[in-house]
Structure 1
């Protein structure tokens, strides 16, 4: 069998992008060369790896079996090159995902705290937890830092740090004038919330909505900044992470609603169970774990 690393790289790129055009751009190859390489790989393996539904190429069962092995092979090859090549100090690229609270309000500080050796090529994707899990399943990310829950058996999930959810409103809102409120006083309020797939919205649906009998209206926004601005402008009450709300709370632009209950939540590190941990990924995940231990003790 004469499978080449180039054929594996082509397969992996097509699997991630779903079409030859995008994969060819990433690999700096012509579509013809890409198509030929993919055909050769399928011929060597004596099985098709994709279902062709023009213009998309969708991984079939055999392709899904090959993807984690291809990802590992590419990762190991990169580690070999960096170990024995001219750039021994280069730990390689890293593609991480983060849900919005972590990605916007915590991850930049974490990246700045890394040592010089780890400050190499890093790509960050910030989106909701459900989308990040789908990307992990397709080996589009090395790892993700998420707020929400998931039920994917193929993913390894490790508890990381504790966060706290807060009820917030504008400084002029009637609830801001009260020393403490009950859940009943949250009825008939206008709410400003993230989209359904977000970790923050999951927290609201699990911990706040069941206690309410009447919600006047919901303004749904897809970013934390827009939620915070809407709350500040008096458009409604929100349930949001302390990490996201802290700056506006400190400046007095929004107000924490005091209620006789705390809302802690666990943030997680997640990666695919079959993901090969490159040298760079091992370094970064250990850095996050060590930082998390110190954070939870503080």
Structure 2
């Protein structure tokens, strides 16, 4: 039994003649007769009593008519809902904490301005969590700062970023022109949580020198780290994009690490290799490509 069977049955029940039903549906009368016979065989009951001039629907026919009508109405509602859904693109975008704090909001605001028919759902967490959500199809695409490890996820470098060593303006290191990584590791650090791309990148540099970090606090919020460092609770390594206002206000100071290669990286687009790139996703990619930092933090 198919929706076509139900559509023909409802038309016969409405017109009470197979010839008129066939005419309305632009099919042959034998086809209508065959469909009614198939339904009666499937449900093992008579749906109509045949009289000379018209068909009389039976109790079984009335029961089927009620359900058939609801089913066809549900199909119509489904098609309408799908058309409306497709007309309004919804994309689920993931971002890591640094990206979400200093880049992502501006990109999405630009999309809202340029594409009123694209809705964006944002989810911000560390790289490890974002990667799992991409693998589980909980997100359509993401912009991440950390390294993606799964081969199922494709990445493309997009926006350059630099990690810097930072202390507060009253810190003993604030007036130093530079310092070594070993000297920096003596001081208490306020860092992102494990799983963060920022923390992973810095820890790689520390391990490569055979050093250990004095971690005083772990935060999963970049602005909370900035506030803690500005209050003198510790030092940190953080994206230079996150501290522009604090540098301008002389709340924080950057001290170069003279024996450490510049911690340069890219924020990368990431998506599942089997993911269909819808129009909304392509709009997001284009907005990231057009990003120039003018609407960053």
Q: CA deviation at 1:268?
A: 0.4
Task: State the match for 1:134 in structure 2.
Answer: 132
Distance 2:96 2:106 in 1: 15
Distance 2:116 2:155 in 1: 23
Task: Map residues 97-176 of structure 1 onto 2, 5 A cutoff.
Answer: 97-114=94-111, 115-118=113-116, 120-176=118-174
8 Å CA contact 1:183, 1:212 repeated in 2: no
Distance 2:218 2:180 in 1: 24
CA distance 1:137–1:143, change in 2 (3 Å): same
Task: State the match for 2:208 in structure 1.
Answer: 210
Task: Map residues 191-210 of structure 1 onto 2, 5 A cutoff.
Answer: 191-210=189-208
Task: State the match for 1:24 in structure 2.
Answer: none
Distance 2:215 2:83 in 1: 60
TM-score by length of 2: 0.66
Task: Map residues 53-92 of structure 1 onto 2, 5 A cutoff.
Answer: 85=83, 90-92=87-89
8 Å CA contact 1:118, 1:280 repeated in 2: no
8 Å CA contact 2:163, 2:264 repeated in 1: yes
Q: Output the aligned Cα RMSD.
A: 2.5
Task: State the match for 1:285 in structure 2.
Answer: 285
CA distance 1:221–1:87, change in 2 (3 Å): closer
Unaligned runs of 5+ in 2: 3-78
8 Å CA contact 1:195, 1:221 repeated in 2: yes
Q: CA deviation at 1:86?
A: 6.9
Distance 1:164 1:119 in 2: 34
Match of 1:95 among 92, 96, 106: 92
Distance 1:281 1:187 in 2: 42
Distance 1:106 1:224 in 2: 13
Instruction: Please state if 1:223 is matched with 2:221.
Output: yes
SS in 2 for 1:264: strand
Task: State the match for 1:182 in structure 2.
Answer: 180
8 Å CA contact 1:170, 1:253 repeated in 2: yes
Moved over 6 A (4+): none
SS in 2 for 1:178: coil
SS in 2 for 1:176: coil
Task: State the match for 2:9 in structure 1.
Answer: none
8 Å CA contact 2:206, 2:213 repeated in 1: no
Task: State the match for 2:61 in structure 1.
Answer: none
Task: State the match for 2:62 in structure 1.
Answer: none
Task: Map residues 230-249 of structure 1 onto 2, 5 A cutoff.
Answer: 230-249=228-247
SS in 1 for 2:115: helix
Count of residues in correspondence between the two structures: 214
Unaligned runs of 5+ in 1: 3-79
Structure index of larger Rg? 2
233-242 or 208-217: bigger deviation:
208-217
Q: CA deviation at 1:286?
A: 2.4
